[in-house]
Structure 1
Amino acid sequence: MVVACFFVVISTLAQTKVSGVVKDPTGMSVAFANVIFKDSNEGTITNEDGRFYLESDETYTDVIFSFVGYETKEIVLTERSTYKMEVILEEEAASLDEVVIFSGKQSKKNNPAIDILRKVWENRRENGVKKFKQYTYDKYEKLEFDLNTIDSALIKSPVFKGMEFIFDQTDTSKITGNTYLPIFINEALSKVYGDNLLNEEKEVLDGNKNSGFSNNQTLIAFVKDLYSDYDVYDNYLKFFDKAFTSPLSKTGIDVYNYVLLDSAYRDNKWCYNIVYYPRRKNELTFKGDFWVNDSTWAIKEINMQASKSANLNWVREVYIEQEFDVLNDSIFLITRDYFLSDFSLRKKEGARGVYGKRTTLYDNYVFDIPKDKSFYSNQVDPYQFQVYNRDDEYWKTKRMEALNNDEKGVYKMLDTLKTVPRFKALYNIGATLVSGYYQIGNVDVGPVFSVFGFNEAEGLRIRLGGRTYFTQNDPWRLEVFGAYGLRDERFKYGVSGKWLLDRKSRLTVFGGNRKDVEQTGATLTNSNDVLGRSLASSSLISVGANDRLTRINLTTAGFSLEPSKNLITRITGSYRTLKSATDTFSIDYFDENGDVQSTISQPEIEVSLNYTPGRKTSGYGVEQTIINDGDYSIFYLGYTLGLKNVLGGDFDYKRLQGLYTRPWNIGGIGRLLSTVEVGKVFDPVPLSLLNPVPGNQTYFSLYNSFTQLDYYEFVSDTYASLHLQHNFGGRLFSRIPGLRKLNLREVIGFRAVYGEVSDENIALNASNIVYQAPTEIYYEYSVGIGNIFKIFRIDFNFRGNYLSNPGARKFGVTGVFGFSF
């Protein structure tokens, strides 16, 4: 808990505050004990260390401590704020045997709490709005970020010199007991429409107000995605891209202890109170309690607090409250949802961090009024000026919950803060680390992380680039870069532009030109991004000689359209010239006269369809930020037509390609990522227009590549590949005592590809690459240890077959950096 001196300087809005620790007579902490103000419904439970913090806006004179197997203890409060209490609970003389049972593992037999839980399972039906054909309700959502654990050292820190006034807004969290400073707030009011027969839902934003950082739509959307909607009746609840076992799960009795603690009226409904807590450490579980009605067996209230030992990065605390109201005797509708997360680099109690809080209120439910299907399919303009500029009178009448004094002060404080030069400088540094670009006026310079690279053709490569940036929602954007190789002493460049013509349909035109060195064949599915560049083209360190590089001059132009959400159609015309970038690599081919040619000139027209159900984005400009990257399915289908004798084109051909990627959250055993790719070139073409199986000669673990293959080791014109990668999330390591505290995560992978190459394509080949297709399915597999220092994963890769190929790499080690919860 925070030491007493921290509480002296915090806001005194609450009338009664208590904190401390609960122990038994031997000095052992009593975890999950009940703490409640006398004659009230306001209470909490102690954490794994027996510590508690409880506050109320009301004035109370007594606090009661209880736990099954111990005598209930009532303490009189002599002061409004009482901190660092040490409460000793005496064992009940008639219940000594029960103490052993309830202080640790709970029996699954003859346990009344589990009997009640089984009633919840038996009577669980589609809950709330799902019980009706159609529904409509108002939804008010308040998002807030707070800097927490405020102390005198932080206030006097040189970082905040000239900004000390912001600490006038500090308050104390009723959940953790830590002081905090609100730094950002966003309010949104929406009308939600749904049709369970059509399986459709639509949310129409009516008002939005925010303070804090400018252009913060990405931040707002990111927080919303972290706190995505959930149903406590589900077996697993997904937060931070992790699947937590719900305390109401049918598998809950294997991971939770349950205790029937009390029974009482809650809003005129007789309910049972059940406390639950984890059976084992390091698993994705909660502790807390819930109230369940004795006739409908529906949840009336539930509190969930993530176990502090859960294998979760950067998150020190997760706390959830949900309240339900009774529409009639059998239907409970959610009325309030509160979610708090404490983000911190360290999990120690004294470490500073940031609270992310979401409060969602629901009201004005209306049922069984149908709307036409077209109502749900019609897209809404993502930005309407009046929605984002509602006056104060609107918010006074529309808010479902009044702002407290601290929240009101945030708007004023942050308006002042944005005028402080020091704050602007700190904000720019943070924005550069997040985006990779440094803003100078209306131009972003970067990406700063790609300034240096290396390959066999260019040697050390130096790159500088920039883009126009007025706001996150620019309707047009220009981007340029220049690069120079110290070995080949050549200048490379790229320029591209795009313009959003219609915001509603996202009709966009684009074009550009790039002259560069590239590792072609680094992916199976082709990309027509004119400024796209793979890591394989400029990795600083590689396995073996990375000399199979191509000089490319690519020009593209086209347009895209999004007729419905996340369904993008695109038509692109391109023209490219290709030739080898090194003396040791050849892309030569025989032309129709039997002469050897070393350069390819090729125009193409590509028509593609890209569907990403579940993808979430922020912004309404020509570029949008993806919020839930890697957490949605991808379906791609592309048809390419190569044109001969058009602009000097060398080949006529047709290419068809498809890709399907899907992430799978598999309950309590982790997350699987799967990708299937298929493709075929229907006419004879040379090496540079075929589909080499993508090898990987870097030391990075690159998904959708084959780590133990060299570039161009396999060449195909027809292919099918499968990639599987499963992250167990530490569920195995958490059961090994010596590894438990390290919070490591187990990752396994499997990759396979089948391919063919025709005799006609082999006959065209005049390069120094010997064509071999994986007609016997090539495969490899890997085992990895992730979450090393919370940011690194190391993979041990094994080649499954084709071990007799010249220079075949049977084993390799790769790694990848990344931030994940």
Structure 2
Amino acid sequence: MAQSLITGKVVDMETGKAIAGATVTNLNSREATSTDSLGIFRLKRPQSSNNFLFRALGYKNLRTPAVLDSLPDSIAWIIELDPDENAIETITITHRGKYSNRNNKAVELIDLVIRHKHQNRLTGKDSLQFQQYDKLKFGFVDPKPTIRKGILDLKFLFQNIDTLSQPGKKLLAMYQEESNAHVYGKRNPSKFKKQIYSQKKTEFDQRYINNPNIQEFMNYMFQQVDVYDESIYLLNKQFLSPIADNGKLYYKYYVVDTIFNKEGYFIKLDFEPRNTQDLLFSGTLEISMDGSYAVKQANLKLSRNANVNWIKEAEIKFHYRKDASGVMLSDTTKTFFTLGVGKSETLFAERFSINDSYKLNAAFPTGVFQGAPVEVLTTADEVVPERPVALNIYENKTYENIETLNNKKSFKSMLAVGYLIAQGYYNLGMFELGPLEYLYSRNNIEGNRFRLGGRTTQLLTDKAYFEGYLAYGSDDARFKYFLKSAVTLNGKSVVNFPAHYLEASVQNDILEPGMQISYLKGDSFFRSIRSNRPTKWFDTRGYQLQHVIEFGNHVSVTSGFTHMDRQTVGDLRLESSADPNQLLTNISTNEVQVDLRWAPYEKFYYRNLTRNTIKEKHPVFNLKYTHSLDGFWNSNYKYEKLVASASKRFFLNQLGFADVRLVGGKIWGTLPYPLLEIPNLRQKDDRHKIDFDMMNSMEFVADQYVKFSIDHELQGFLFNKIPLIKKLNLREVWGAQMFYGKLSDRNNPYLSDEVVHFDRDADGQLLTYVLDRAPYWEGTVGIDNILNVLKVEYVKRLTYEDAPRARGDRFRVSININF
């Protein structure tokens, strides 16, 4: 192998010092590599005389021919690069004694930077266009030799250990993604568009790995960032920028260098956190002194003591370059992380972005801002990426290595086991069985309940899907079933946004009063052992037909028809409020529904033919209207329902983030209370779901109501300030849930003789009440990140504590793994 490579060293022409990270490109073959920490590079020996290009940040490009016979085998080919910037003329060294913001020149300069941020950041431009190249990698750091000898037989991977990308580290990439995009932005009105016209990425067996999920997750956790952002979002956390509006409260600043070069006059600042436990950086800034106070360069390193799990090293480098008009524009951004348990580094993630070909105040292409803000063109996978910096020999090999790995039977077996544990489904190719936690449960009607379910996968088709289950109870000795199917109406996937499909469901099972048709209806093993598990049931037969259409602006419309026939079962008694001896044993309803949903900038995690919303800062709104069809299919109930809901995650900089949900509704009509609002009913998962942990099943009912919840994670903001405690990296959590509702006289069994009385438990106590004096509240306080994995919460009922069967408080322990 050594005989087929040429070896050389790139040094500074003036100082003779090695230049790490310089790019070496064979212009004839287009093969390229980078120098390591010693300035040394190795490249495939050409077959004939070739031209080479040497590039490094801060140096002039060098293009030189190389004659094959003159290329040495040893490190004797020395390449000298001429610095592109003049030497520093003035250096100011400051003594870091007692720190104060008063009369501090560095703080005065940061004030000027903050004051001019709006005109220097990209989003502050009236209109701009540029090209963006983006490369994202993830893999192992210095993988152990024992791995290659295991049952997976990974010897071929270890022939691709990258020693060039990050000087001093050995990297084995397992995921790599490249893309080219056109980016457009304007300020008034504020609009953004990114069109990805070329992309290439590694992919795994789609039976077990949803490849778009990897791409979405990596891009979510390691987002493209800018030093001008108030908070820099990484690893699902917010790290305060050193030039944030309130940065002076959290950072210390020092003037260290004054720089004069052909680009102008710059002042170099060092900054460091006042509290090393907070989510802050340390590093350097170079500020332009031409009156714009724009950032020329920024190097941000995560504080070693920051309250972040498993991060061993984190560094972000920003570089900005003046255009012909003197405007400072983002040039390159590089993010590098290493992760691991204990003191060792195990995993790495790297993102490298280059922006070029800027156009300011140019006319936009017609209709460019239509559709989703980030759009991947249908031909993107067919276009070879344009690389402003060539891949090195190891990066080039990554795509081929992952393809080889996918064909190994041992690797497929490992994925199957991991999928069963993580997702609860056993994959059979075109069909998968599960979920695992629903195989067995127990309730007071069925006794031991056994259930076998499953769903189709995209290997069968992504134009339709089927899911269903068959269940059997040992006590009632009968079978129950559920089946749902959807078929696309636009010839595309039934799940990928924007979707358009027709969906039908049928269910024959016992359901809680108030519950709608659902696949995951609450019969999981863990639900069946909860203290507030349901004890009252309807034997239900339900049919539903829905039409779903989504639009590119993230507005969707769901319309449908639902018929449900409910028979009382067990000890559920619905006594007439006019005559206690008369029982209501059957409730049949027919409903037509229209649900309008708006989720601006929504992104998803996909799992085969299902998807979940990624929680970001953007809100989600729903407005649902329901109208009954009485006098049809055994139904004689006339009513209308209207429900409005909204949810949003608020990012609060150093105070962490808070999830807020608000739901309000009203029901018109005279109805038995199981058809009204029962607040602690666990419907199918949605963004607006509010769980009342201390509320008993069927405890409250209303026909006009409002629900509110807030869950706040402070990310250690308070604990980080307490001596000794701060070393434990604990994090504070708190939350509150509220329900307030009223029951109209026509639906109140104590005032109306047209409805049914509330049922009682085995001891004769009422199960259901009407809120009569104040909202129902419960609150939560807790400590998260105990030993990096545990969350302990204290949950207390704050109102209606004197109600029969009321539980005052409890402790809740859960596993919560997060950075």
Relative to the length of structure 2, the TM-score reads 0.81
Q: Which amino acid aligns with 1:360?
A: S
**In the alignment, which of 269, 272, 275 is matched to residue 267 of structure 2?**
272
Unmatched segments (≥5 aa) in structure 1: 1-10, 18-35, 44-52, 60-78, 81-96, 523-527, 697-701
Could you tell me which residue of structure 1 aligns to residue 679 of structure 2? 693
**In the alignment, which of 426, 447, 453 is matched to residue 414 of structure 2?**
426
**In the alignment, which of 154, 163, 169 is matched to residue 160 of structure 2?**
169
Assess if the C-alpha contact under 8 Å between 2:627 and 2:640 holds in 1.
yes
Shift of 1:56: 5.0
SS in 2 for 1:126: helix
Cα gap change, 1:670/1:263 in structure 2, threshold over 3 Å: closer, same or farther? same
Alpha-carbon displacement from aligned partner over 1:534-582 (angstroms, at most 9, x marks no partner): 4789614222674133332221111111123321110011111223443
Could you tell me which residue of structure 2 aligns to residue 306 of structure 1? 302
**In the alignment, which of 129, 135, 150 is matched to residue 136 of structure 1?**
129
Could you tell me which residue of structure 2 aligns to residue 349 of structure 1? 343
Q: Which amino acid aligns with 1:668?
A: Q
**In the alignment, which of 661, 672, 676 is matched to residue 647 of structure 2?**
661
**In the alignment, which of 763, 774, 777 is matched to residue 775 of structure 2?**
777
SS in 2 for 1:171: coil
**In the alignment, which of 595, 610, 616 is matched to residue 597 of structure 2?**
610
Q: Matched residues in 2 for 1:658 and 1:629: separation?
A: 19
Write the mapping of 1:554-633 to structure 2, written as runs, cut at 5 A. 554-583=542-571, 585-589=572-576, 595-617=582-604, 623=609, 625-626=611-612, 628-629=614-615, 632-633=618-619
Write the mapping of 1:373-522 to structure 2, written as runs, cut at 5 A. 374-378=367-371, 386-390=379-383, 394-395=384-385, 398-471=386-459, 474-502=462-490, 503=492, 506-521=499-514
Assess if the C-alpha contact under 8 Å between 1:556 and 1:574 holds in 2.
yes
Q: Which amino acid aligns with 2:308?
A: L
Q: Matched residues in 2 for 1:695 and 1:497: separation?
A: 25
Q: Which amino acid aligns with 2:160?
A: Q
**In the alignment, which of 189, 196, 199 is matched to residue 208 of structure 1?**
199
Alpha-carbon displacement from aligned partner over 1:113-144 (angstroms, at most 9, x marks no partner): 33322231233233244354322221111121
Cα gap change, 1:291/1:633 in structure 2, threshold over 3 Å: closer, same or farther? same
Q: Matched residues in 2 for 1:350 and 1:328: separation?
A: 46
Q: Which amino acid aligns with 1:586?
A: R
Q: Matched residues in 1 for 2:204 and 2:506: separation?
A: 35
Could you tell me which residue of structure 2 aligns to residue 294 of structure 1? 289
Could you tell me which residue of structure 2 aligns to residue 335 of structure 1? 331
Q: Which amino acid aligns with 2:438?
A: S
SS in 1 for 2:412: helix
Cα gap change, 1:434/1:542 in structure 2, threshold over 3 Å: closer, same or farther? closer
Q: Which amino acid aligns with 1:350?
A: S
Q: Matched residues in 1 for 2:808 and 2:741: separation?
A: 21
**In the alignment, which of 211, 215, 218 is matched to residue 220 of structure 1?**
215
Assess if the C-alpha contact under 8 Å between 1:454 and 1:539 holds in 2.
no
Q: Which amino acid aligns with 1:470?
A: Q
Q: Matched residues in 2 for 1:373 and 1:715: separation?
A: 53
Q: Matched residues in 1 for 2:262 and 2:463: separation?
A: 52
Write the mapping of 1:53-202 to structure 2, written as runs, cut at 5 A. 55=37, 57=39, 101=96, 106-156=99-149, 158-160=150-152, 162-172=153-163, 177-202=168-193
Shift of 1:40: 7.7
Could you tell me which residue of structure 1 aligns to residue 361 of structure 2? 368
Assess if the C-alpha contact under 8 Å between 2:7 and 2:40 holds in 1.
no
Q: Matched residues in 2 for 1:732 and 1:644: separation?
A: 57
Cα gap change, 1:176/1:677 in structure 2, threshold over 3 Å: closer, same or farther? farther
Could you tell me which residue of structure 2 aligns to residue 73 of structure 1? none
SS in 2 for 1:407: helix
Q: Which amino acid aligns with 1:349?
A: K
Q: Which amino acid aligns with 1:242?
A: K
Alpha-carbon displacement from aligned partner over 1:398-449 (angstroms, at most 9, x marks no partner): 2222111111111222222222211222233334444332221211222223
Q: Matched residues in 1 for 2:523 and 2:533: separation?
A: 15
Assess if the C-alpha contact under 8 Å between 1:555 and 1:576 holds in 2.
yes
Q: Matched residues in 1 for 2:719 and 2:691: separation?
A: 27
Cα gap change, 1:767/1:307 in structure 2, threshold over 3 Å: closer, same or farther? same
Q: Which amino acid aligns with 2:189?
A: L
Q: Matched residues in 2 for 1:748 and 1:722: separation?
A: 14
Q: Matched residues in 1 for 2:151 and 2:8: separation?
A: 30
Question: Which is further off, 566-575 or 263-272?
Answer: 263-272
Could you tell me which residue of structure 1 aligns to residue 759 of structure 2? 768
Assess if the C-alpha contact under 8 Å between 2:532 and 2:697 holds in 1.
no
Q: Matched residues in 1 for 2:117 and 2:533: separation?
A: 61
Shift of 1:12: 11
Assess if the C-alpha contact under 8 Å between 2:547 and 2:560 holds in 1.
yes
Question: Which is further off, 400-409 or 489-498?
Answer: 489-498
Assess if the C-alpha contact under 8 Å between 1:289 and 1:303 holds in 2.
yes
Q: Which amino acid aligns with 1:279?
A: R
Shift of 1:686: 0.8
Alpha-carbon displacement from aligned partner over 1:507-554 (angstroms, at most 9, x marks no partner): 2110111222333457xxxxx664242478961422267413333222
Assess if the C-alpha contact under 8 Å between 1:218 and 1:625 holds in 2.
no
Q: Which amino acid aligns with 2:391?
A: L
SS in 1 for 2:118: coil
Could you tell me which residue of structure 2 aligns to residue 70 of structure 1? none
Question: Which is further off, 227-236 or 641-650?
Answer: 227-236
Alpha-carbon displacement from aligned partner over 1:455-504 (angstroms, at most 9, x marks no partner): 33333333222111134981211112122233433322211111222148
Relative to the length of structure 1, the TM-score reads 0.81
Cα gap change, 1:462/1:15 in structure 2, threshold over 3 Å: closer, same or farther? farther
Question: Which is further off, 558-567 or 167-176?
Answer: 167-176
Could you tell me which residue of structure 2 aligns to residue 553 of structure 1? 541
Shift of 1:630: 6.2
Q: Which amino acid aligns with 1:263?
A: T
Question: Which is further off, 291-300 or 495-504?
Answer: 495-504
SS in 1 for 2:699: coil
Shift of 1:608: 0.4
Q: Which amino acid aligns with 1:737?
A: P
Cα gap change, 1:317/1:614 in structure 2, threshold over 3 Å: closer, same or farther? farther
Could you tell me which residue of structure 2 aligns to residue 319 of structure 1? 315
Q: Which amino acid aligns with 2:338?
A: D
SS in 1 for 2:37: strand
- Does residue 1:758 correspond to 2:754, yes or no? no
Alpha-carbon displacement from aligned partner over 1:289-341 (angstroms, at most 9, x marks no partner): 12211223211111112122222234333221111110146421112111223
Question: Which is further off, 194-203 or 605-614?
Answer: 194-203
Shift of 1:38: 6.9
Could you tell me which residue of structure 2 aligns to residue 50 of structure 1? none
Shift of 1:812: 2.1
Q: Matched residues in 1 for 2:759 and 2:401: separation?
A: 68
Assess if the C-alpha contact under 8 Å between 1:195 and 1:370 holds in 2.
no
Q: Matched residues in 2 for 1:267 and 1:467: separation?
A: 65
Q: Which amino acid aligns with 1:179?
A: K
Cα gap change, 1:341/1:728 in structure 2, threshold over 3 Å: closer, same or farther? same
Q: Which amino acid aligns with 1:192?
A: V
Cα gap change, 1:529/1:399 in structure 2, threshold over 3 Å: closer, same or farther? farther
Q: Matched residues in 2 for 1:143 and 1:472: separation?
A: 31
Q: Which amino acid aligns with 1:774?
A: L
Cα gap change, 1:441/1:814 in structure 2, threshold over 3 Å: closer, same or farther? same
Q: Matched residues in 2 for 1:106 and 1:37: separation?
A: 36
Question: Which is further off, 296-305 or 770-779?
Answer: 770-779
Percent identity, please. 22
**In the alignment, which of 705, 721, 735 is matched to residue 749 of structure 1?**
735
Q: Which amino acid aligns with 1:555?
A: Y
Task: Note the aligned Cα RMSD (angstroms).
Answer: 3.5
Write the mapping of 1:716-727 to structure 2, written as runs, cut at 5 A. 716-727=702-713
Could you tell me which residue of structure 2 aligns to residue 46 of structure 1? none
